[in-house]
Structure 1
Amino acid sequence: MDISKYRIVPGKDVDLTELAEKEGHDYTEEIKEKLVPKSVEQLREWQLKLHAEEKKGILVVLQAIDAAGKDEIITFIFSHLMPQGLEVNPVKKPTEEELKHDFLWRIHKGMPERGQIAILNRSYYEDLIAPIVYGEDQTIPMPSNEQNDDPWEIRCRQINDFEKYMKESGFPVVKFFLNVSSEKQKERLLERMKNPDKNWEFSFSDVEDREKWGEFQKAYERILNHTSTEHAPWYVLPADDAWYTRYAAAEIMIHVLKELNPELPVMTDEEKEKLDEEIEKLEKE
């Protein structure tokens, strides 16, 4: 897979309406039955090395409108990894306590440890989306300044600086935006609403947000253009074909891990000698 076509080139403005919502292919069953399992196995092998080495970690950001497939990426891709090396945290509307702090305070508890992949299901980018879609009163207050700079752009800079800090600290940030079409979202929402077994997935806020489709698209487009950087680029995945989306996410994660190139620890001669002694001791019991 050529993952570069999903990467938003830093500094190049994109038009979200021109980005793919689906890929033209006819091998969904092959993706589901062969390619995804193979990618998950490779991802698990690399994650094991990352966890055993304990030198670096990865922060994964999942952003999308409702029913785009964020939860399914976690279920079908990340949930197959070793649990000890995985952390999943949803980011919801800020609480009263969180509103008393800086806007990044609330996500620090979801940051990865060394040797760990941490996933934010939605993220601090909600605090860039909300001012555009709902207005400031429904999000953490925007930063104030004395130079008449755009508070929204100030927050973009703060996020870019934070993600650069994360990478320089050994925690690269991998950002996925799931680009689903209005038609496919409608289909998935109706399935949740009509199927009793899927009613639990439905929230009335989903249809309320759908009425603001244009505002959400505007917000996502601005975010892609302001926060896709060399140190933390956005990957925009076509999300109408659920299995292809999962496959693409897995392949990108494998690429990131290969670049980190974690290795399993190797015992020293002294440790090997001690190990042999313990093996002999245990076998004599």
Structure 2
Amino acid sequence: MDKHKYKVTQPVELHKIPTQEPIADAEKKLKKVRKKIADLQNTMYAEGKYSALICLQGMDTSGKDSLIREVFKQFNARGVEVHSFKVPTELELSHDFLWRHYIALPAKGKVGVFNRTHYENVLVTRVHPEYIFSENIPSVKSLEDLNDEFYHDRMDRINQFEKHLATNGMIILKFFLHLSKDEQKNRLLRRLNIPEKNWKFSAGDLKERKLWEEYQKCYEDAINRTSTEHAPWFVVPADDKPTARFIVANTIFEEFKKYNFQEPILEPKLMSKIDEFKAQLNNE
């Protein structure tokens, strides 16, 4: 699989990118690669120089939750932290728009997964600009202030935020799960048709679905303005869930390999006494 075909290195037009690209035996391939990622993460944890932030974005029903479950299934619990960002709380709204994401970042040695991310601040709020009023920003007095310049400035702040993190040892990989409108319809109907899935359905899903084209434009603009070498976007065909999971897992694996994580070596003083320590334990 050529992961570079999914990486955004030049402006993209989402409507021209396929949402379906089945990969043969994707589930079997995923099982192999997720173990390799977990092994690399263990070494990263021991080394303590790097951390990693995996950002997942996509329209409702794009498969973020199940992807997290399947891709990181074999991680040691100490090695991965998952954060799902919902509607901001009163406390979160009393800080700047990046604050709640900053305090959730992974420590060195760990992998953090953001299920919905800091990009909600230039996606959902751009489709529903009235949400910004809850932030009580002094310069925002009316909807007219929430123009392209406002959101592009926010994207500049996000680029600076990610650059700062990368400079300090964070590996940042951002995935847009590219779902078709038809497949979203099928998945919403499945939630309605299967009683055990009913709880996943919300009437709000249908309201947001009516804004599909507007969301696609906002995603496209955000991806094009914020895909950088230190924090790249990958547009992943998501109509087939096993394929999407494998592409994300394999991309993480290939990116992690670049860093050549190394387990730390014991100090010479301790190394010289290993036989002595063994003898002490064996003679107990």
After TM superposition, the score normalised by the length of structure 1 is 0.92
Q: Distance in 1 between matches of 2:157 and 2:217?
A: 20
Q: Which sections of structure 2, spanning at least 5 residues, go unmatched? A: none
SS of 1:103's partner is: coil
Tell me the amino acid that sits aligned with residue 59 of structure 2: I
SS of 1:245's partner is: helix
Q: How does 1:192-231 map to 2 (within 5 A)?
A: 192-231=191-230
The answer as to whether partners of 1:179 and 1:237 remain within 8 angstroms in 2 is yes
Q: Distance in 1 between matches of 2:82 and 2:148?
A: 35
Q: How does 1:177-256 map to 2 (within 5 A)?
A: 177-256=176-255
Note closer, same or farther for the CA distance 1:35–1:143 as it changes in structure 2 (3 Å cut). farther
SS of 2:112's partner is: strand
Q: Which residue of 2 aligns with 1:75?
A: 69
Instruction: Work out whether 1:14 is the aligned partner of 2:9.
Output: no
Q: Which residue of 1 aligns with 2:278?
A: 279
SS of 2:86's partner is: coil
Q: C-alpha displacement at 1:160, in angstroms?
A: 0.4
Q: Distance in 2 between matches of 1:276 and 1:186?
A: 65
The answer as to whether partners of 1:68 and 1:180 remain within 8 angstroms in 2 is yes
The answer as to whether partners of 1:143 and 1:155 remain within 8 angstroms in 2 is no
Q: C-alpha displacement at 1:118, in angstroms?
A: 0.3
Q: C-alpha displacement at 1:136, in angstroms?
A: 3.2
The answer as to whether partners of 2:22 and 2:243 remain within 8 angstroms in 1 is no
Q: Which residue of 2 aligns with 1:106?
A: 100
Instruction: Work out whether 1:90 is the aligned partner of 2:84.
Output: yes
Q: C-alpha displacement at 1:224, in angstroms?
A: 1.0
The answer as to whether partners of 1:143 and 1:154 remain within 8 angstroms in 2 is no
Q: Which sections of structure 1, spanning at least 5 residues, go unmatched? A: none
The Cα RMSD (Å) is 2.0
Q: Distance in 2 between matches of 1:102 and 1:240?
A: 35
Q: Distance in 1 between matches of 2:241 and 2:138?
A: 37
CA offsets per residue over residues 54-84 of structure 1, 9 Å max, x none?
A: 1110111100011101111101001321111
Q: Which residue of 2 aligns with 1:3?
A: 3
Q: Distance in 2 between matches of 1:141 and 1:245?
A: 38
CA offsets per residue over residues 78-98 of structure 1, 9 Å max, x none?
A: 132111110100111111111
Q: Distance in 2 between matches of 1:68 and 1:231?
A: 25
Q: How many percent of aligned residue pairs carry the same amino acid?
A: 38
Q: C-alpha displacement at 1:191, in angstroms?
A: 1.1
CA offsets per residue over residues 16-68 of structure 1, 9 Å max, x none?
A: 1011201155x2xx221x21111111111111111111111011110001110
Q: Which residue of 2 aligns with 1:31?
A: 26
After TM superposition, the score normalised by the length of structure 2 is 0.92
Q: Distance in 2 between matches of 1:141 and 1:252?
A: 39
Q: Distance in 2 between matches of 1:21 and 1:241?
A: 8
Note closer, same or farther for the CA distance 1:227–1:140 as it changes in structure 2 (3 Å cut). farther
